[in-house]
Copies of this chain bind each other. A is one copy, B any other.
């Protein structure tokens, strides 16, 4: 089968690989739609070290091609969404409520990290009963592919923020994860969502997904702007959806005493992520910092698919570009340069 792989840091290409076979609890899925994630680009550029002949991609939906003998929740031909994170559900971390950390830190993240990813004609899914969900009839593949990472991760950012009903929240950066954090904040009952973003198309989508106010970096220090908007009070919660220490610092600075900073961003650089000491109340202002990694699991996927089925949101508006499977390197190139107003590129397998 054909697979889109990372040959070494910075170099991609198509490779011919064996079609994977499922172990007793596993499945093999034939992708129909996929999405390219900025973290794929990070991986390609060495964020997690050298990889050789590793299939890229982790956001996919498709059709079940084969199942292991112990799998009883699925049949061949089922349309399914596959979690970007596929935990070992019997690991101690999963037992402890942290499946994404199964067996080691970030251990639930397997695709395009420790095993071949999803940009291939066939994809191997471990613990299939627990890591896939059937797509309801009324939901398209294009919609469904967003539950696998963008919706589950972005919503998690809002859930971890512990926003009180009617409370205020600032979401820093409105890439696809930030946009879904904005929508997630609305789904958690936020009374005022302040989206921090400078790109017009992203600002527009932020409004669509529920932002009440837009703060533009280009109009001055976002910390000052948010304090002005909130009469100097700050927000109940801030969501970091970019992954830089500077943005994280701003999140602490806009959060009121007793509030929460929810980190979603992947911090790719630097020795430290910095907490500003004074604004953190010298450690005593009860500004807690919550973190998380993309929640997976069939139950989570089903619940998110239900939101699509019931028309709570349309994530496909984040799709700015579409590519065939064999044009995928162009998608990677655009995700890297962020040219052409790209937000999220869809990959069509058929």
Chain A residues within CB distance 8 Å of chain B:
24-25, 70, 89-101, 104-107, 127, 129-130, 155, 159, 164-168, 184, 187-189, 191-192, 212, 240, 243, 245, 249, 256-258, 263-277, 280-294, 297-300, 302-307, 309-310, 312
Least CB distance, A307 to chain B, in whole angstroms: 5
**Option from B266, B276, B297, B303 in Cβ contact (under 8 Å) with A284:** B266
Q: How far is the CA of A290 from the CA of B284 in the complex (A)?
A: 10
Q: A90-B127, A312-B191 are in contact. Are A258 and B288 (CB under 8 A)?
A: no
Q: A257-B105, A258-B98 are in contact. Are A293 and B299 (CB under 8 A)?
A: no
**Option from B98, B168, B266, B272 in Cβ contact (under 8 Å) with A276:** B272
Task: Write 17 A-B pairs (CB below 8 A) sorted by A numbering.
Answer: A91-B130, A93-B258, A98-B286, A100-B286, A101-B286, A165-B304, A166-B303, A166-B307, A191-B307, A269-B277, A270-B277, A272-B274, A273-B275, A285-B291, A285-B293, A286-B291, A288-B291
The 5 A-B pairs with the shortest beta carbon distances in the complex, nearest first, are A166-B303, A98-B258, A191-B306, A90-B130, A187-B189
**Contact residues in B for A93 (Cβ distance below 8 Å):** 257-258
**Contact residues in B for A166 (Cβ distance below 8 Å):** 300, 302-307
Q: In the complex the two chains form, is A299's CB within 8 Å of B89's CB? A: no
**Option from B155, B212, B303, B304 in Cβ contact (under 8 Å) with A310:** B212
**Contact residues in B for A100 (Cβ distance below 8 Å):** 284, 286
Q: In the complex the two chains form, is A271's CB within 8 Å of B276's CB? A: yes
**Contact residues in B for A191 (Cβ distance below 8 Å):** 303, 306-307, 309-310, 312
**Option from B106, B267, B287 in Cβ contact (under 8 Å) with A277:** B267
